[in-house]
Structure 1
Amino acid sequence: MTEHRAIIRTGATVSVGPRPTTAPGPGELSIATLYAGLCGTDIQMLRGLRDDPSPVIGHEGIARVVAAGAGAPDWCAPGTLVAVNPTHPTDPGFLLGHNVDGLLQERTLLPASALTGGMVLPLPATTDVGLAPLLEPLAVVRYALGELRAFAPRTLLVVGDGTIGHLALRAAHRWLGEDVRVVLVHHTPEGRAFSQGRPHRAELLLGIEELATRRWDAPVAALLATPRNATLAALEAVLAAAAPDLAVDIVGGLPPGATTPSLPGLDLAAVRAANCGGIPDPALVTTTAQGVRLLGHRGVGNRHLLDAAAELARAPEQYRDLITHETDLAGAARLMRSLAGSGHRLFDGRRLVKLAVRVNDREQT
């Protein structure tokens, strides 16, 4: 049996080690990751805040097809560039990097359900694979802004200064229109200082405590790009600042059964879970007794991934600087160990927004 290298979680440890390389069976696909990313949910898993079972994480990336099992579509030829939609809209048994081994390894075996479910997307051969870690998060932004556009907002409040937040402020005029005012809302002075130094900035940078001190041009849309433990506080802040002429997309995670006194009786986690993988289309929206339009979503549809790929190809330099760190598998394991044992997002003295992990050299795949 052959083996390949992977970043493996074992209990509280993270290390590079061998994994068996299995040839694809009927309908399966073996892919070689070129570049993969590390996202906020991955960091939560490293810190023990989520109990997802996969020992190999990573759901953001671009790979090449290595081999296809019998019955795979004709386009699955070796060498084809592909992206994998990590969230199956109807099969909870396929959640890449969560309950199915992810992309932070030299070979990933995708089950037949990934192909039959349309979760593997061929990409143009000219795709800039160095931007791979931004593809799935930008697709999340495409999903959110596409749904919020229906409310014709004049103000967009982006709460959260991680990858999603920074991608959203840069894509807002592209997908919401030039007239919307974009505000990026931070939780820490360090995050605000990072945003201030970026080449592409929102019209206004605020701390979350400042939201209620301003008057906002309505209608107002809010995109909550927050970690699971900060989403409720972010929602309460935007409700206090902008209700009732407000539409909110909860991109950030929520604990099961999450509620807020500001919206009594409403299961916020159920609102978010009502839209998964781009289904239904358009998304289900809940109008609260206070008149607030509330929606959320898990995962993205294939159309969002393809739109994001087209946007990265159109304007790569508008997004590239958000990849703040790049390394190989060994370096990524070192970074992941550091993050697992800390509560911050600093590494090598710099704020981490998006990590790009070189998993395979292009010439060797």
Structure 2
Amino acid sequence: MVRAGGSLSVVSRPTNEPGPGELVVATEYAGLCGTDIQMLRGLRDDPAPVIGHEGIATVVAAGPGVRPEFAPGTLVAVNPTHPTDPGFLLGHNVDGLLQERTLLPATAVTGGMVLPLPADTDRTLAPLLEPLAVVRYALRQLHAFAPRTLIVYGDGVIGHLAVRAARRWLGSATRVILVHHTESGRAFSEAAPYRADVLCTRLDWARLEPGVVGALLATPRDATVFALESVLALGAEELAVDLVGGLPPNATTPLLPGIDLTAARAANCGGLPDPARIVTTDSADGNRVHLFGHRGVADRHLLDAAAELAAEPGRYRDLITHETDLEGAVRVMRALAGSRDRVIDGRRLIKLSVHMGAKQ
């Protein structure tokens, strides 16, 4: 699936032979991410013509010098964000997984970005692996502050995964609030088998438990500052915030004087440094705020997410709301690129799974 000149289509391209240290992998299942949709809408200028950074694949060819653990036939996940090499960002500046064969450069292989998975891994859950790893990173950092209330802002796949993982990774006593963008989003959550304690479209103080408040902001880059300000306006005496969603360059808010929000998010990349770099400051109202963010995850977060999906597949499976092949994915992505409406084929889309086998 290739982006070119504002269009999106399925084309035939030659498969490159792997050079020293390189791998060619065959995608089995891949997911569509919110950042992919932003690229399709022209809101990001990432150059890769082939998008897709969520999924699992099978090694089909290994170049000279590749370790035996990556022999052909090995099932692998690919960590899309290299912590020290900005030249490797899968599906953004390097061709991604929405193609039958993907060439992975040596920097990804030697840098530990390719992770062997058990052969019995449930491949159909692959589109949830990387986003659940993002949630694992976020909740692991927030856990250090022992929040009594967790506010999840955003009702996309990250938000829904966070709601379902929160009590398993933060503790059963944590009160979880899911803030939706629309009433239709709230209605989807109301009918879901695993729900937050509170479903709402706006926040108010009465919904908070006494003590530290945690917030996971899983919003598009044009909504993250608004979400942050909504959480800050609650006036919690101590607040820990993870800026999962993107931000425009040099983003700021008068509620946190002197803080470069974009820099705070960019300070952590691919799981480094460890522990994460956190900005602690006082809000304009004098309340203590711990602020951090991250681009990408570490391998350990992917492995934790894989273990979680293996242990509790039914807890997450229904979040894959749509499945199709490459040709069908073009139709869905064109619809998403041209509209803010997330209803596809009469159903609200949370996660699209693209299967490289027969049409579904």
- State whether TM-score is above 0.5: yes
Q: How many residues were matched structurally?
A: 354
Distance in 2, Cα, partners of 1:127 & 1:152: 32
- For 1:342, give the aligned amino acid: S
Distance in 2, Cα, partners of 1:270 & 1:211: 29
Distance in 2, Cα, partners of 1:113 & 1:89: 11
Distance in 1, Cα, partners of 2:346 & 2:212: 40
- The equivalent of 1:50 in structure 2 is 44
1:294 to 291, 296, 300: 291
Distance in 1, Cα, partners of 2:17 & 2:113: 20
- The equivalent of 2:88 in structure 1 is 94
- The equivalent of 2:107 in structure 1 is 113
- For 1:140, give the aligned amino acid: V
2:180 to 165, 170, 186: 186
- For 2:149, give the aligned amino acid: T
**C-alpha contact (below 8 Å) 2:149/2:176 kept by paired residues:** yes
1:325 to 302, 314, 322: 322
Q: Deviations over 1:80-102 (max 9, x none)?
A: 00000000000000000000000
What is the percent sequence identity of the aligned residues?
Answer: 71
Distance in 2, Cα, partners of 1:218 & 1:161: 25
The Cα shift of 1:197 comes to 0.8
1:350 to 347, 351, 354: 347
Distance in 2, Cα, partners of 1:35 & 1:333: 15
Distance in 2, Cα, partners of 1:97 & 1:47: 15
- For 2:167, give the aligned amino acid: H
Which structure 2 segments of 5+ residues have no match? none
- 5 Å-filtered alignment, 1:1-365, equals 7-208=1-202, 210-212=203-205, 214-290=207-283, 291-360=288-357
- For 1:31, give the aligned amino acid: V
- For 1:263, give the aligned amino acid: L
Distance in 1, Cα, partners of 2:9 & 2:298: 32
**C-alpha contact (below 8 Å) 1:106/1:360 kept by paired residues:** no
The Cα shift of 1:244 comes to 3.1
Distance in 1, Cα, partners of 2:48 & 2:34: 16
Which structure 1 segments of 5+ residues have no match? 1-6
**C-alpha contact (below 8 Å) 2:150/2:214 kept by paired residues:** yes
The Cα shift of 1:322 comes to 0.0
Distance in 2, Cα, partners of 1:304 & 1:64: 21
Query: Which stretch shifts more, 214-223 or 191-200?
Result: 214-223
TM-score w.r.t. structure 1 length?
0.95
The Cα shift of 1:20 comes to 1.7
The Cα shift of 1:116 comes to 1.0
**C-alpha contact (below 8 Å) 1:214/1:241 kept by paired residues:** no
The Cα shift of 1:242 comes to 4.0
Distance in 2, Cα, partners of 1:198 & 1:19: 41
